[in-house]
Amino acid sequence: ELQLVESGGGLVQPGGSLRLSCVGSGFAFSTYSMNWVRQAPGKGLEWISFITSRSNIIHYADSVKGRFTIARDNAQNSLYLHMNSLRDEDTAVYYCARDVKARGDAFDIWGQGTVVTVSS
Partner 1 sequence: QSVLTQPPSVSAAPGQNVIISCSGSRPNIGNNYVAWYQQVPGTAPKLLIYDNDKRPSGIPDRFSGSKSGTSASLGITGLQTGDEADYFCGTWDSSLTAGVFGGGTKLTVL
Size of the site for partner 1 (CB under 8 A): 24
Closest CA to 89 of 70, 58, 64, 108: 64
Question: Binding of partner 1 at residue 1 (CB under 8 A)?
Answer: no
According to CB under 8 A, which one of 12, 22, 34, 60 is a site residue for partner 1?
Answer: 60
Which listed range, 14-22, 23-31, 69-77, 97-105, lies at the site for partner 1 (CB under 8 A)?
Answer: 97-105
Question: Binding of partner 1 at residue 61 (CB under 8 A)?
Answer: yes
Question: Binding of partner 1 at residue 45 (CB under 8 A)?
Answer: yes
3-class SS of residue 82: strand
Q: Kind of pairing, strands 114-118 and 10-12? A: parallel
Q: Cβ of residue 16: shortest distance to partner 1, in angstroms?
A: 25
| DSSP letters for 12-26 | E-TT--EEEEEEEES
